[in-house]
Amino acid sequence: MRDFIARPEHGIVWISGASSGIGRALALKLAGEGYKVAVTARSHEKLVELQAEASGLSGSIIVLDGDVTDAEDMEHVMASIEYEHGTLAMAILNAGVYLPVHAEDLHRADFEKSFAVNLSGVVNCLLPAIRHMKAKGQGQIAIISSVTGYGGLPTGAAYGATKAALINMAESLKFDLDKMGIRIQLVSPGFVDTPATRKNAFPMPALISVEDAAQHIAAGLKSQAFEISFPKRFTLMLKLARMLPYGAYFALVNRVTGWQERPSETGHHPATPHPAE
């Protein structure tokens, strides 16, 4: 039996973190394919601009403001979808933040915000979405992680930890969701040109545009694959690197990033690029 694949006629697609980056590009891509897309973020103005940009497309954009770190907010968004707009067919949990972490100058706030947005923010959307889909007996969920979750990288102690947790979360939930008729997928992008990655201090390998990322994700959502990872060659290299013994892995990362040769004084490290939403 083939897994459920959400089509426009099945209902609403909900995208969190849709005001910029991958979320925004994906909302436009899916609206262009005829989907009715509910978009959530804290910036009402950016969501309204997104809605206006989609006005000529075959689908449509529904603006539903909300902060993913507020569980009650996400319950209200889900209730609005269910009672005002229709059945939730697909949830794409994309909201995320990248805050570089340096061991020479650690700040609790960097970890707390990263965990609140990237990890708890997904859970806050996931719970009401699964409850709704369970009642309908079908649905599709995509969790946006990152190849940074495959293994530790310089400055990624907070961001990478959350993405690794999302990988494990999606893998673990799949066993039960399969039995419920709810399909879950893991999205693992490489480096994508977003407002967050533009702050990085050195070139990012295999960098792609948000439009290309949206095309990869949109195609993957219609496939039977559990993981949607791209660009393929780059993500495969990172997976293979993580299979190395720790000594070889750390040596490889140091060589590729040049991190071992960089000054260790606080604040002198340029941020290592990490894929961002």
Task: Let me know if residue 263 belongs to a domain.
Answer: no
| pLDDT tier at 90, thresholds 50, 70, 90 | very high
Sign of the C-alpha dihedral computed for residues 144, 65, 86 and 9 taken in this order? negative
pLDDT value, residue 92: 98
Tell me how many domains the chain contains.
1
Residue 104 CB partners (closer than 8 Å, separation 6+): 264, 265, 266
Sign of CA dihedral 104, 243, 170, 229: positive
Q: CB-based contacts of 133: which residues, under 8 Å, 6+ apart?
A: 88, 139, 141, 180, 181, 182
Q: In a 3-state reduction of DSSP, which class is residue 229?
A: strand
The reply to whether 273 falls in a domain is no
Catalytic residue among 35, 159, 246, 249: 159
Give domain status of residue 2, yes or no.
no
Residue 98 among the catalytic residues: no
The rounded mean pLDDT for the chain is 90
Q: What is the pTM of this model?
A: 0.91
- The CATH number of residue 209's host domain is 3.40.50.720
CB atoms within 10 A of CB 79: 12
pLDDT at 8 exceeding the cut of 60 = yes
How sure is the predictor about 202, in pLDDT bands with cuts at 50, 70 and 90?
Answer: very low
Write out the residue range of the structural domain in which residue 196 sits. 12-257
